[in-house]
Chain A
Amino acid sequence: MDTIIKKINPCQMSYLRISVDDFIKQYNDGECELIDIRLPFEVARWQLNFGIIMPTSELPERLDELPKDKLLVIACPLSERANMVSFYLKTQGFNAKYLMGGMIDLMDRLKGGKAKDLKINI
């Protein structure tokens, strides 16, 4: 963990986070997966129709359910908890980044006809 912290430098914040537009592009190309890490009551209220739901508190026990070959894009409503979890996943050997602007910005981006920008397999 010390190593990861010391590695952070001004030009490399992209090492930690991904923008909504980059997420959409990489998701469509099959290069990343979205992980919703909100707590159960929050998920029960509303959820996205793609990605993997994995509450923060269950995550350490369920790591084997996460794809190893993709970038994991961690999301919460804004970005503070996603930041923490993405950090954790990095320590566990995953390629993880948090979604800048969070699920709220992503939903805002997928408005109207733009919702079709994200290719979801339903």
Chain B
Amino acid sequence: MTIKTPEFDRYLQSFDYQERKDMKIHLEECLEMYAKGEIQLIDIRFQEEFDAWNIGFGDHIPLHKIPDRLDEIDSSKTIVTMCPHYDRAEIARLYLKLNGYNARYLTCGMLGIVDFLRGDKARDYMLKLTKEKNNGYYY
């Protein structure tokens, strides 16, 4: 089975050191941009995994549903895909990139997020999200 993938061919042929950087996003930048509303954060794990635990912000579209649910993806934002580590997030990122979206994957994965957002860091970040949503005021 061979599928013609001209856009995939072109993407690989132009793959360079810059793209190697641009395909990824680190946690700090991701949280900062997400709070400013510049990112659509997508958990791409299977439904069972999402049911077991989730991080309480961002969207959930399982990897195998993405091709049918592209209309839920906001092309005006940077799309950041995430899974527990980064294997599947990278597949999702690649798929979205080839479909014309500006997509990056979260290098530390969701385990990195939960490890980082502990204690006062979780409190401060969630307050920050509320503040951004309410134009600078806490409610």
A residues near B, CB below 8 A? Answer: 1-3, 5-10, 13, 16-17, 39, 41, 56-61, 79-81, 83-85, 87-88, 91-93
- Note all chain B residues with C-beta closer than 8 A to A83: 87, 90-91
Main SS of the interface on chain B?
A: helix
Known: A1-B5, A5-B95, A80-B86. 17 other contacts (CB 8 A): A1-B95, A3-B3, A5-B67, A10-B46, A13-B87, A56-B12, A57-B12, A60-B12, A60-B13, A79-B87, A80-B24, A83-B90, A84-B94, A85-B12, A87-B91, A88-B12, A92-B3
Compute how far the CA of A56 lies from the CA of B10 in the bound complex, rounded to whole angstroms.
Answer: 11
B64 touches A60 (CB 8 A): no
Count A-B contacts at CB 8 Å.
Answer: 77
> Is A59 a contact of B20 with CB atoms below 8 Å?
no
Report the Cα distance A91→B23, complex, angstroms.
20
Instruction: Given A1-B3, A6-B64, verify A81-B98 contact (CB < 8 Å).
Output: no
Q: Which chain A positions have C-beta within 8 A of B8?
A: 1, 88, 91
Residue ranges of B at the interface with A (Cβ–Cβ < 8 Å): 1-3, 5, 8-9, 12-17, 20, 23-24, 46, 48-49, 63-64, 66-67, 86-88, 90-91, 94-95, 98, 105
Q: Which residue on chain A has the smallest CB distance to residue B95?
A: A5
A57 B17 Cβ-Cβ under 8 A: no
Is the CB–CB distance between A84 and B90 below 8 Å?
Answer: yes
Set A3, A13, A56: member contacting B15, Cβ < 8 A:
A56
